[in-house]
C-alpha cells in the first residue's frame, strides 16, 4: 500500500513512479476493435500482446481478440518479417477477418521492421486473399495509450479513406478514446439531431455486444470498411478530443480535403452544448425536445446538488481529453480543481487546463507527463475532498481516506462504464450522481448522531 509515500516532493526529470498512463499499443489495439470484421495484430512478442489483451479485457469485461507475431530470440536478432508473413497467412486461413490491423510494439520498433514493405511482399506472394486488407501503425515510443489510439485512427484514414469526387450529405465524427457506451450515445445524439455521420472507430456492439449464447468472433458493431471508404466524401470532420482525434482529422483534410473542427469531448454541460451547437450549425436542424429535456434534467441536477458540491476541492487524473472536459465540468458545478494531471505528455494540456482555471483557482497544480506518486504527495501536503481518476487512484484514496470516483481508462475493479455513458447530457447526469453519491457517503460516515440525516 502507499502509506509510506513521503510528503517531501523531490524534483524528478526522467523517473516516473506509478505513471498515469499505459503503453501505446493498447490504444492502437482498442482503436482497431472499432473496425467491423477486424482482427488487431500485435507485431512483437507474445507477452506484450497478452498484457494488452488482458488489460482491455479487464476494463471492458469482454474477451478481446488479437493475434501476435510471437517473436522469439531469432526474430529479435534477425527481424520479425518471417513471423509477420506466417501470421498473416495463418490469420486469414484460420480466423478469416475482413481486415488485419497491425501495430508494432517496443521490440519491433527497436528492430525497425518495415511493416509496409513486409505487407506488400506478403500481398505479392499471395498471402493476403483478394478483397482482404492489412493496415498498420507504428505507435512509437512517444506518448501513451492515447497516442497509440490516435496513431491507429490516423492509419485508418491513411489506408481506408477514399474520395469519389462527389460530396455526400454526411459528417465524419471521431469520438476519441471513449467507452463503447459513449460511442453509442454520440450516435444517438447524431440521430436525434438528424446528422448523418460516419463514426470511427466505433467499439459499440463490439465490446458491449449483447449476450446471445453464441460466440461471434466479429460482433455486429464497428465502422464498416464501406463506410470508412466514404469518409473522404463527407462535408466535415468533427474531432472530439484533440489528443485522440485531431491527427486523424488532419490527415483527412490533407488526403481528401475534408475540413475539420476539434471539439472537447462532450463531457459535462458546456462541452455537450458546444457539440450540439456544432451539429445544429452544420445541419441547420434544431435539437429535438428529447435533447433539450435531457439538458434541462442535467442542469436541474447540478442546481439541486449545489449545496454538496460547491467549494469542494477535487484532484483529477487521467487521459488528457477526459481530464480537460472533466475539469471544465467541475468548475461549472462550483467545485475547485486543485490538482489536475495526465500521464500523457503535451503542453497543450497544461495550457488548456490553466485557461479553464484562470478565474477559479490560478494556483492549481497542473502537470502533463505526470505520475500518481507526485499527485499523492500533493494530496498528502494539502488534502482534497474528492479524487477522480482511473482505478489506480484507489491506492491514494485508501491511503488518504479521500472519496473516490472512478473515471476514464482503465477501470479494472468496477463494472458499468462500458454500458452507461459519461458523454452527453445523459452521461453528465451519471457523473453528477456518482460524484454526489461518494460525497454524501462520506458525510453519512462522518456526521455525528445529532446531524445524521435521513433526508439529504
Q: Closest approach of Cβ 23 to ligand SF4, in Å?
A: 3
* Lateral strand order in the sheet of 386-389: 365-367, 336-342, 313-318, 386-389, 404-406
Closest to ligand SF4 by CB, 31 vs 405, is: 31
Q: Closest approach of Cβ 92 to ligand SF4, in Å?
A: 25
Closest to ligand SF4 by CB, 66 vs 335, is: 66
Rule CB under 6 A: choose which of 20, 21, 25, 407 binds ligand SF4.
25
**Looking only at residues 281 through 340 of this chain, which bind ligand SF4 when binding is defined by CB under 6 A?**
none
**Distance (Å, rounded) from C-alpha 259 to C-alpha 338?**
37
Q: Closest approach of Cβ 107 to ligand SF4, in Å?
A: 6
Binding of residue 23 to ligand SF4 (CB under 6 A): yes
Closest to ligand SF4 by CB, 109 vs 246, is: 109
Closest to ligand SF4 by CB, 294 vs 319, is: 319
CA gyration radius, the chain: 23
Q: Closest approach of Cβ 372 to ligand SF4, in Å?
A: 17
Q: Closest approach of Cβ 393 to ligand SF4, in Å?
A: 21
Whole-Å CA distances, 103 to 72, 84, 294, 409, 434: 17, 11, 40, 20, 36
Q: Closest approach of Cβ 106 to ligand SF4, in Å?
A: 3
Closest to ligand SF4 by CB, 36 vs 103, is: 103
Q: Phi and psi for 42 in degrees, rounded to 5?
A: -95, 115
Rule CB under 6 A: choose which of 105, 138, 237, 344 binds ligand SF4.
105
Q: Closest approach of Cβ 22 to ligand SF4, in Å?
A: 8
Closest to ligand SF4 by CB, 23 vs 88, is: 23
Binding of residue 218 to ligand SF4 (CB under 6 A): no
Q: Closest approach of Cβ 109 to ligand SF4, in Å?
A: 8
Closest to ligand SF4 by CB, 23 vs 134, is: 23
Q: What is the 3-state secondary structure (H, E, C) of the chain?
A: CCCCCCCCCCCCCCCCCCECCCCHHHHHHHHHCCECCEEEEEECCHHHHHHHHHHHHHHHCCCCCCEECCCCHHHHHHCCHHHHHHHHHHHHHHCCCCEEEEEECHHHHHHCCCHHHHHHHHHHCCCCCCCCEEEEECCCCCCCHHHHHHHHHHHHHHHHCCCCCCCCCCEEEECCCCCHHHHHHHHHHHHHHCCCEEECCCCCCCCCCCCCCCCCCCCCCCECHHHHHHHHHCCEEEEECHHHHHHHHHHHHHHHCCCEEEECCCECHHHHHHHHHHHHHHHCCCCCHHHHHHHHHHHHHHHHCHHHHCCCEEEEEECHHHHHHHHHHHHHCCCEEEEEEECCCCHHHHHHHHHHHCCCCCCCEEECCCEHHHHHHHHHHCCCCEEEECHHHHHHHHHHCCCEEECCCCCCCCCCCCCCCCCHHHHHHHHHHHHHHHHHHHHHHHCCHHHCCCCC
Over the window 260 to 289, marking each residue x when it contacts ligand SF4 by CB under 6 A and - when it does not, the resulting string is ------------------------------
Task: Compute how many residues bind ligand SF4; rule: CB under 6 A.
Answer: 6
Closest to ligand SF4 by CB, 101 vs 195, is: 101
Closest to ligand SF4 by CB, 221 vs 343, is: 343
Q: Closest approach of Cβ 103 to ligand SF4, in Å?
A: 9
Rule CB under 6 A: choose which of 31, 38, 48, 387 binds ligand SF4.
48
Closest to ligand SF4 by CB, 5 vs 144, is: 144
Rule CB under 6 A: choose which of 37, 51, 380, 383 binds ligand SF4.
51
Closest to ligand SF4 by CB, 105 vs 350, is: 105
Count of C-beta atoms within a 10 Å radius of residue 72? 11
Closest to ligand SF4 by CB, 43 vs 376, is: 43
Rule CB under 6 A: choose which of 106, 282, 360, 440 binds ligand SF4.
106
- Grid cell listed for 87: 501470421
Q: Closest approach of Cβ 59 to ligand SF4, in Å?
A: 16
Binding of residue 75 to ligand SF4 (CB under 6 A): no
Q: Closest approach of Cβ 45 to ligand SF4, in Å?
A: 7
Sign for the pseudo-dihedral over CA of 203, 422, 418, 413: positive
Q: Closest approach of Cβ 151 to ligand SF4, in Å?
A: 13
**Distance (Å, rounded) from C-alpha 142 to C-alpha 23?**
9
Binding site for ligand SF4 (CB under 6 A): 23, 25, 48, 51, 105-106
Amino acid at each position: 500500500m502507499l502509506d509510506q509515500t513521503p510528503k517531501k516532493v523531490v524534483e524528478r526529470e526522467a523517473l516516473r513512479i506509478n505513471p498515469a498512463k499505459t503503453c501505446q499499443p493498447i490504444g492502437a489495439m482498442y482503436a482497431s476493435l472499432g473496425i467491423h470484421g477486424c482482427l488487431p495484430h500485435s507485431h512483437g512478442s507474445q507477452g506484450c500482446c497478452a498484457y494488452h489483451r488482458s488489460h482491455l479485457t479487464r476494463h471492458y469485461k469482454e474477451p478481446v481478440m488479437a493475434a501476435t507475431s510471437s517473436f522469439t530470440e531469432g526474430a529479435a536478432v534477425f527481424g520479425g518479417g518471417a513471423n509477420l508473413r506466417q501470421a498473416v497467412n495463418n490469420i486469414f486461413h484460420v480466423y478469416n477477418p475482413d481486415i488485419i490491423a497491425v501495430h508494432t510494439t517496443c521490440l519491433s520498433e527497436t528492430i525497425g521492421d518495415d511493416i509496409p514493405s513486409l505487407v506488400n511482399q506478403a500481398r505479392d506472394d499471395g498471402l493476403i486473399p483478394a478483397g482482404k486488407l492489412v493496415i498498420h501503425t507504428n505507435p512509437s515510443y512517444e506518448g501513451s495509450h492515447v497516442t497509440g489510439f490516435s496513431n491507429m485512427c490516423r492509419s485508418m484514414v491513411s489506408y481506408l479513406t477514399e474520395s469519389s469526387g462527389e460530396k455526400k450529405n454526411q459528417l465524419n465524427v471521431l469520438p476519441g478514446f471513449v467507452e463503447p457506451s459513449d460511442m453509442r450515445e454520440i450516435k444517438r445524439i447524431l440521430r436525434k439531431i438528424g446528422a448523418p455521420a460516419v463514426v470511427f472507430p466505433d467499439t459499440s456492439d463490439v465490446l458491449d455486444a449483447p449476450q446471445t449464447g453464441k460466440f461471434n468472433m466479429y460482433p455486429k458493431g464497428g465502422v464498416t470498411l464501406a463506410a470508412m471508404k466514404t469518409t473522404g466524401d463527407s462535408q466535415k470532420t468533427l474531432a472530439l478530443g484533440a489528443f485522440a482525434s485531431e491527427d486523424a482529422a488532419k490527415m483527412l483534410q490533407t488526403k481528401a480535403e475534408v475540413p475539420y473542427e476539434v471539439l472537447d469531448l462532450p463531457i459535462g454541460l458546456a462541452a455537450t452544448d458546444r457539440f450540439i451547437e456544432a451539429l445544429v450549425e452544420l445541419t441547420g436542424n434544431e435539437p429535438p425536445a428529447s435533447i433539450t429535456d435531457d439538458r434541462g434534467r442535467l442542469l436541474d441536477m447540478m442546481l439541486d446538488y449545489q449545496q454538496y458540491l460547491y467549494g469542494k476541492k477535487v484532484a483529477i487524473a487521467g487521459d488528457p481529453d477526459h481530464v480537460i472536459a472533466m475539469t471544465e465540468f467541475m468548475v461549472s458545478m462550483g467545485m475547485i480543481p486543485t490538482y489536475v494531471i495526465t500521464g500523457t505528455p503535451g503542453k497543450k494540456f497544461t495550457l488548456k487546463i490553466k485557461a479553464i482555471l484562470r478565474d477559479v483557482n490560478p494556483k492549481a497544480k497542473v502537470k502533463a507527463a505526470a505520475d500518481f506518486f507526485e499527485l499523492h504527495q500533493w494530496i498528502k501536503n494539502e488534502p482534497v475532498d474528492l479524487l477522480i481518476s482511473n482505478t489506480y487512484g484507489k491506492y491514494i484514496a485508501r491511503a488518504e481516506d479521500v472519496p473516490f470516483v472512478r473515471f476514464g481508462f482503465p477501470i479494472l475493479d468496477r463494472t458499468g462504464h462500458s454500458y452507461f455513458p459519461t458523454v452527453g447530457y445523459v452521461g453528465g447526469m451519471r457523473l453528477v450522481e456518482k460524484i454526489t453519491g461518494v460525497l454524501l457517503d462520506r458525510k453519512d460516515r462522518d456526521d455525528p448522531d445529532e446531524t445524521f440525516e435521513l433526508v439529504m
